[in-house]
């Protein structure tokens, strides 16, 4: 997605595409690293000195409200954000703290006994050691 496409995408979702909002969304799309507010702020403030942490936070909250990002609460102490809103799970490495996407083979249609419910959020979390940290811990 280039800047023009992001602008259009935000507009379609009822979000006024300000420069800061475009940059935050672009960061999420490009990095796909499930960042926290702090991480996004620290990365972007180098290029956008006028950016504040409050702006990043309120931008992400707006994105959440409009459904263009999803919230990951796998880390109890930190809100993490994901521009990929399709149904997928997350794996958090206990050692390096990185969060990886987990592709699921089962769709949400496979849930038993949930037909009469409306699901607004789903979180599928796994924790453990990533391959890199596992290698380090055994060598």
Give the torsion sign (CA, 61, 57, 75, 97): positive
Rounded least distance, CB 70 to Zn ion, Å = 8
Single residue of 66, 95, 123, 127 touching Zn ion by CB under 5 A: 95
Residue 130 makes contact with Zn ion by CB under 5 A: yes
Q: Site residues for Zn ion, window 54-93 (CB under 5 A)?
A: 82, 84, 93
Single residue of 7, 43, 78, 101 touching Zn ion by CB under 5 A: 101
Single residue of 96, 104, 111, 114 touching Zn ion by CB under 5 A: 96
Helix (H) or strand (E) holding 126: strand 125-128
Separation CA 10–CA 104 (nearest Å): 27
Separation CA 44–CA 96 (nearest Å): 22
Q: Site residues for Zn ion, window 22-51 (CB under 5 A)?
A: none
Tokens describing residue 38: 């702090």
Q: Could you tell me if 121 and 87 are in contact, meaning their C-beta atoms sit under 8 angstroms apart?
A: no
Nearer to Zn ion, 96 or 111 (CB): 96
The residues that touch Zn ion, with contacts defined as CB under 5 A, are 82, 84, 93, 95-96, 101, 130, 133
């Amino acid at each position: 997605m280039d800047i023009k496409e992001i602008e259009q995408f935000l507009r379609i979702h009822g979000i006024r595409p300000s420069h800061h909002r475009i940059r935050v969304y672009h960061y999420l799309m490009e990095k796909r690293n499930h960042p926290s507010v702090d991480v996004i702020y620290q990365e972007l403030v180098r290029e956008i000195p006028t950016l504040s942490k409050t702006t990043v936070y309120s931008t992400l909250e707006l994105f959440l409200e409009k459904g263009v990002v999803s919230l990951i609460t796998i880390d109890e102490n930190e809100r993490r954000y994901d521009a990929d809103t399709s149904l997928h799970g997350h794996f958090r490495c206990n050692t390096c703290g990185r969060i990886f996407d987990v592709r699921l083979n089962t769709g949400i249609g496979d849930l038993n006994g949930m037909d009469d419910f409306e699901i607004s959020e789903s979180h599928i979390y796994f924790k453990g050691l990533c391959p890199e940290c596992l290698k380090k811990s055994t060598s």
